[in-house]
Structures are given as C-alpha cells and as structure tokens.
Chain A
Amino acid sequence: MSDTTLVQPRTEFLRGFSMRDAGTLIGLVVILVVFGALVPGFFAERNLINILQQSSINACLALGMTLVIISGGIDLSVGPTAALSAVISASMLVAGVPFPLAIAAGFAIGLACGLVNGLLVAYVGLQPFIVTLGTLSTYRALALIYTGGNPVLGLPTSFRAIFNGSLFGLPLAVIIVAGVAVIAWIVLKKTPFGEYLLAVGGNEEAAYIAGVPIARTKIAAYMISGLLAALAAQILVGRLGAAEPILGNLWELDAIAAAAIGGASLMGGKGSVVGTILGAVILGAMRNGLTLMNVQSFYQLLATGLIILAAMLIDRVTRGRG
C-alpha cells in the first residue's frame, strides 16, 4: 500500500554494483586516454602488458583486502605478512628444500598470520585497525629478526622461472592473479561465504541473529588476505630473485586504495571484485604513465592521493540521496 503507487520500478537504476563498476571502468578509460595522448608508445602491447604486470601484486593483495573490508574490517599487516612468508620460503629454497614444500610453507605462513589477525578480531573482540596495526609491526619484526636484517639471496633460477615465466605472451603473474580474481568473484557472488561477508559487514547483529557464523566468516576473510599476501610475496621474490625482510613496505595502503577506488566501503558491507581489479589497474596505469613521462616520484605520490580523493568525491556525489 505505502510504496506501490508512487514509486516506479527502478531496479535497473539501482543495480548498485555494476553501476559502480561501470564508473570505475570509465575512470580507467579516462586515465588511459589521457596518458595515451601524452605519452608516445603508451598503448604499445608491450607497455600494456607491463602495466598489468606492475599492477598484479597490488591487485593480488587488494583482492584479499576487499574481502576483509567487506566484512567490516581492515588488514594493515599484509606487507609484513608477505615479507615474513617470503624470507622463510626463500631461506628454505636456498637450503635446498623442494619447491612445492617451500612454497607451501610460504602459504602456510600467510594463512597463519591471517589466522592470528582473525582470532584476535573475532574472538578477543579487538578492533581490526588496532589488531593489524600491532601485527604490522610484529610480523615485520619477526621477518627482520629471522634474517638478521639481511636479504635472502641465491635463490635457484629454476624457482624464479615459476613465477616469472610467461604463458601465451602474458606474464604468469598476471595469469595467476587473474585466476585469483575469478575465484574471488565467484566466492563473493555465488557462495554462502560471500553472502555472509556482505551480511557481517553490513549489519553484524542482524547477521548473528539470522544464524550467520560471524567468527568463522571474519577469520576466513583474514586468512584469505594472509594467503594472498603470501602469493604476492612469491610473485615478487620470483621477479627479484631475492627476499628482503623489508619487502612490502606500505603495500597495505596501495591495496586499500585499490579497493576503495573500486567501490569498497570502509564501513563494511560493500565492495566489488571487478571494481578492485580496475582500481589496481588504474593505480598501475597512472604510475606507469607518469614514469614514462619522467615525472618525479613526488608527483606520482601526489597523483595517487588525488586519484583516491577524486574517486571518493565522485562516489559521494553520485550516490546522491544518502
């Protein structure tokens, strides 16, 4: 009775996510067009692949970050998690441990770091920002203590080939992260866990009363974030051929930026896999373009900041009636 007569159907208009994703896509196109006009050779196939490769590590982290942010949390510890995973995995490789075992150990470290974050958030009830701020320092310290502050060098070249190779002309890292993105999309859109993430972040109390396993959902989100940080670490170590205990410094900020540009709300309950990937590519394309233009890194930082603010402003304005 109350809503029927005056409210015309506007479902199409409100298909929130895809609308928002379209906005992010437009943003990416604008950036590509601008750099295409300013930078000769920006659109060369080789450079486009470069952009994807340069974006892949951040995209990988940002996918995990997106799930955590949707659940109403945040994971500031992804960089140190990656570093800890990298140095342990790398030192095992140097010691001659078989690849699969060393890589699995790296992933296990990532999962364990995420588990600690998740347990502290879900069962101890600490605030995600504070928990992961604490583990940010803790994990970094562990990586530094473990290595004595020195990089782990002398990785077998055959290991490097795994994550640094290419397939059908595309870097393997890009293909792996694309695969992760597809899985993340399916998880978010097609599984109960995805619905639970959105519900826990959207209204935890209501989700609890509706029978959603709150603690398990949150812990799983942090563990996925840790696992993807470990994957990002393997990709980077494969590329560099060495594992530094200080790798991944400030990764968390880029990952949060990509997720936010892509439409994730730090209030929880909202976020998009497609948007996050586009957000990561926006940041990657911009950095690539500015580097090709020989713009000082100070200005690159400035541009990153302005893009994030612009994305949030556009978000605010287009959402309109709040």
Chain B
Amino acid sequence: MSVPRLQFVGISKLFPAVRALSDVSFSVGAGEIHGLLGENGAGKSTLLRILSGVYRPTAGSVLIDGKPVTLANPVAARAAGVAMIHQELQQVPRLSVAQNMFLGHPLTRGGIFVARREQERRAAEALAAIDPSIDPAAPLGTLKVAQRQIVEIARALLDRARIVAMDEPTSSLTPSEFERLAEVITGLARDGVAVVYVSHKLDEVFGICQRATIMRDGVVVDSVDLASLSEKAVVAMMVGRELAQEHHNSHASGEVMLSVRGLASATKVRDVSFDLHRGEVLGIAGLVGSGRTELLRLLAGVDRASAGTIAIDGKATRFSSPRDAIAAGIGLVPEERKREGIVPLRSITSNMALASMGVFAPRGVIDHTRLKRVAAEKMSRVNLRPFLLDRPIRLFSGGNQQKAIIGRWLSAGTRILLFDEPTRGIDVGAKAEIYHLIEELAAEGHSVIVVSSELPEVIRLADRVLVMRDGTIAAELDRNDISEPAIAAHAIPQTQTPAARPARH
C-alpha cells in the first residue's frame, strides 16, 4: 500500500483546563475525499486548526506523504501544501477575484509593483479548470457565495495544494450549488488532492466521501467505509447512542391564538392571512427568499407591516417594535443566532433574562436571588449543558445557545414562539432535544411557528404547513397531506421565470 497523503499520528491538544483532542490518529490517501464527522465540540475544528497551522499540537505529529511536517503557523502550513477553506469565507469583498486569490503573496514586478495583469491571467488559468464563468477582474463582492467558495478552491489549486480541508463549505449553498461544488471537489480528488470534508449534513457526506472519521469528545470513535454503513449507524457513533426515531404528536386545539389577515411589508411579504391555534405547531416552508423570515420579523415586531392586521386572542394589535410584540406574548428565536440572538460576552443568566428584566426588578433593582432561581429552573428545563449559568454564552455550543434563547421566552411568559430555522448549525443530538422542547411547549398550550428549509424537520414538527412562494402563502397542507413532494410542488413557482429557476451552469 502506498503512503497516505495525510496522516495524523497521536495528536493531542490541551488547552488550560480542557483536553480538546486526545490521541487522534487517522489517515487520508491521495485522491480521497474523507469526511470528518462529529457533534459540535467533538474536536473537528481544533484538528483543522492544527492542520492549517493555527494551533500547535501538544503531542503527536502530522505527516504529509509520510514525512513529518512542522506546521508552526498558517504560512508554513500553506507552504507544506495545505489549503484551508473556511466556513465563513475569509476574503475581502472590495478587492477583485484575482487580488483575493493572491492575497498575502501578490505577484510583483521587481518586488515593488503588483503585477495585476499577470495575477489575473494566472487566476483565470486556475478558474478555467473549475468555473470559467467567473471573471478574475470582478470585485469579489459581486459573486454569489457558491462562486466565492469556488474562488477559494481555485486559490488552493494556485497554491498547488496537496491537501484541501473544507469546514462546512455548504452551509449557505442551495442544493444545485452544492451539486456544482461536489463536482469541483471530486475533480480535485481525481487530480490526487486529499480532501478533508467537514459537514453536519450527512447526506452530503455520504454523497461525496468514500471514507469518514467520526470523532466524539476529542477522540476518534472510528474511521469507517461509508458504503457499508447507514446514516443512522453513523449518527449513533457521533452521539454515542441510538437516537430514538421520533414520532409527531399533535397538541393543537380549536382555539385561535393568533389571527393574521392581509399582512404585508413594504418589500417581501404580501397579503398573508392565517390562524394559529393554541397548542399548535405551524410549519412554514418555502424557498429561501420566499418571504418566510420577513413574515416572522413582521409578527415579532422587528419590521413594520405596511398593511394588514394581527390579532391575538381576538384583540387587534399593532407593533412598532419587538417590545410591543413581546408585551403581547410573541417572541422570536432568530435564524442568525450569533448576530440576532445572543449577547456573546454576557452570561447565560443575563441572556435569558434580557426580555424580562422588568419582571426581575419590580422596584428598579434586580432581585438576583429570584433571577438565579428562575434561571436555574428554566435552564434545567431546557437541559443546558454544561450547567454553568454564569458562564458567558459565547463559550457554549450552538445548541445550548439556542436553549438559552428559548429559555429567554419561557422566562418572559411568551405564549407564541416564532422559530426561524431552529436547528441551523446545531448538531444532531441537540437537534432532537430542540424538537422535543418545541413539542413540549405546544403540549403546555404555547403556540409555535417553525420556519425551516429542512423538510424532514417541518414534517417531524408541524401539525399544519403553510408553503410560501413569492411573499405570500401558496398552499396550506394539513398533517395528513404533509410530504416532501407536496411541499416542493407548491414552493417552486409553476411558471418558471429566469430569476426563480435554480441556477445551473
């Protein structure tokens, strides 16, 4: 057997008080696309940071083509042939595609002047192999996210990378964009590059990887051949137990909690009408850009409606800020948790109490004894882990941050919860917990709206589904009619306009 392109041998990484990686060993062959799987906190990111020279391992070594390499810093890692493609792209939008591809080591004439033409010519060569439609002189900011990913890959080609590590490359791509990216990655492998592919989306990993290494709590559980395993078996290895197959339970009553008529916004939403019942979980499906998020923002008072009415318990209300909506019993769990959900430096307790500060300070001064008691109660209810209420929320995993935001609304006495992509960026174990929690909330008489792009999620949770298209409700599906084909049929515009057709190359 030939020498593997990339080998991790006994890698350990200690942080103060934390052992992030413990004796991690596995190898990736040349031309192999190797999945790296595990829940948040399993150590995948730490391992990638070691590979890309950001961290030094405490013990163990990295071998490339059988030779030990010292990846002392990102420049050294790059010189050793490692290219890292980050989840959040590290590019400069105002510079051109070519300038971005040569960022940090520009081609020069005489060491002084940047050789722009030459850069663009070489960039075009690299791009030609994978996506000739990208203009190397165009400002990077004018490209779509998928194309920007491809630019990153072209940059790796330019660097003659032998190893490409990709961290959640598809988190913001549409399915057709993923297909395109998958072709490019497969092409890389065909040319002998070893690809390490990190993703939460198991179907993608099964689609393009031959083998995968599964990590849990900083150790390697196993390196497996994906062809011989089911997704379920892999999930069980990731979380360390079988996840029970969840069944849908309905708690909807006939009582109308929220009644929306003719609701519209200045831009994205038009003429939306529906009722939400007590104890009901209402799913909202639709393509990205169909107005789902915008509808939730209107209901939560974040944006102002331009027309229409919202009535709660039969009483018409008007929201000029989220404060009004919260007072009326509506709370939003936003999609972009980092940007719109958490205050990163503050504790779990402070983040939880943010929407109900007045309740904890009836006489102007916060009653910390009571606040701590309520925080402990709500956070054990949502099963926060680790159970450290004073710890800054930024140090928690996405799933636990989400639990704290849910706790925020529980503590504020919210009756109508609006979830926008409730499990985006959350690992499988925590996902099941969030589903459970949503169901429990409904059982207690809360009304819930769940906007989700993941159809299995909608099907798992929703008593009823509204399908949105072009800013309005295209169809309403009862529990018995909910299926992926039914949702898809209504979500995709029948008369395909050029703008609405999924991008093809």
Contacts and interface: CB of A to CB of B under 8 A. Distances in A.
Contacts of B218: 6
A63 to B, nearest CB: 19
Given A2-B429, A190-B366, A195-B366, A206 B342 contact: yes
B344 A195 contact: no
A13 B350 CA distance: 18
B502 interface: no
B217 interface: yes
A213 interface: yes
B429 A210 contact: no
A9 interface: yes
Contacts of A191: 361, 364-366
Interface string A1-35: 11111111111011110000000000000000000
B326 A190 contact: no
A8 B343 contact: no
7 contacts: A2-B42, A8-B17, A13-B17, A190-B368, A199-B343, A205-B339, A269-B344
Contacts of B198: none
Nearest to B343: A202
Select the residue from B20, B325, B357 with max chain A CB neighbours within 10 A.
B357
Contacts of B321: 208, 211
Interface string B219-241: 00000000000000000000110
Contacts of B385: 1-4
Contacts of B39: 1-2
A215 B390 CA distance: 27
B366 A192 contact: yes
Contacts of B16: 10, 13
A199 B322 CA distance: 15
B18 interface: yes
Given A11-B390, A203-B344, A210-B354, A2 B366 contact: no
Interface of B: 15-20, 39-42, 217-218, 239-240, 300, 302, 321-323, 325-326, 332, 334, 339-346, 350, 353-355, 357-358, 360-361, 364-366, 368, 385-386, 388, 390-392, 395-397, 399-400, 408, 412, 427, 429-430
Nearest to B412: A211
A8 B18 contact: yes
Given A2-B41, A2-B42, A211 B355 contact: yes
A211 B39 CA distance: 32
Q: List the 3 shortest-distance A-B pairs measured between CB atoms, nearest first.
A: A2-B41, A192-B357, A202-B343
Given A195-B353, A208-B321, 10 more contacts: A1-B239, A5-B217, A6-B41, A8-B17, A191-B361, A202-B345, A205-B339, A207-B343, A209-B302, A210-B408
Contacts of B427: 1-2
Contacts of B325: 211
Interface of A: 1-11, 13-16, 186, 190-192, 195-196, 198-199, 202-203, 205-213, 269-270, 321
A196 B351 CA distance: 11
A270 B350 CA distance: 14
Nearest to B429: A1
A1 B239 CA distance: 8
Contacts of A210: 322, 326, 354-355, 408
Nearest to A208: B322
A15 to B, nearest CB: 7
A288 B87 CA distance: 53
Nearest to A15: B390
A8 B17 CA distance: 6
B344 A208 contact: no
A321 B15 CA distance: 9
Interface centre among A205, A206, A208, A321 (most CB of B within 10 A): A206
Nearest to A10: B17
A211 B361 contact: no
B291 to A, nearest CB: 18
A125 to B, nearest CB: 15
A36 to B, nearest CB: 34
A8 B388 CA distance: 11
Given A14-B391, A195-B357, A207-B354, A202 B346 contact: yes
Nearest to A200: B343
Contacts of A209: 300, 302, 322, 332, 334, 340-341
A300 B312 CA distance: 65
Given A2-B429, A3-B400, A9 B354 contact: no
Nearest to A12: B390
Contacts of B217: 5-6
Nearest to B384: A3
Contact of B322 (A10, A14, A202, A211): A211
A234 B19 CA distance: 57
A198 B343 contact: yes
A196 B339 CA distance: 17
B317 to A, nearest CB: 15
B113 to A, nearest CB: 35
Contacts of B395: 14
B397 A2 contact: yes
A124 B373 CA distance: 40
A9 to B, nearest CB: 6
B19 A6 contact: yes
B346 A199 contact: yes
A2 B354 contact: no
A264 to B, nearest CB: 12
Contacts of A192: 357-358, 360-361, 366
Contacts of A190: 365-366, 368
Contacts of B300: 209
A5 B334 CA distance: 29
Contacts of A195: 346, 350, 353-354, 357, 366
B386 to A, nearest CB: 5
A206 B392 contact: no
B125 to A, nearest CB: 37
Contacts of B353: 195
Given A1-B240, A2-B399, A195-B354, A211 B323 contact: yes
B430 A203 contact: no
A321 B55 CA distance: 11
A105 to B, nearest CB: 27
A226 to B, nearest CB: 22
Contacts of A199: 343, 346, 350, 354
A189 B424 CA distance: 33
Contacts of B388: 9, 11
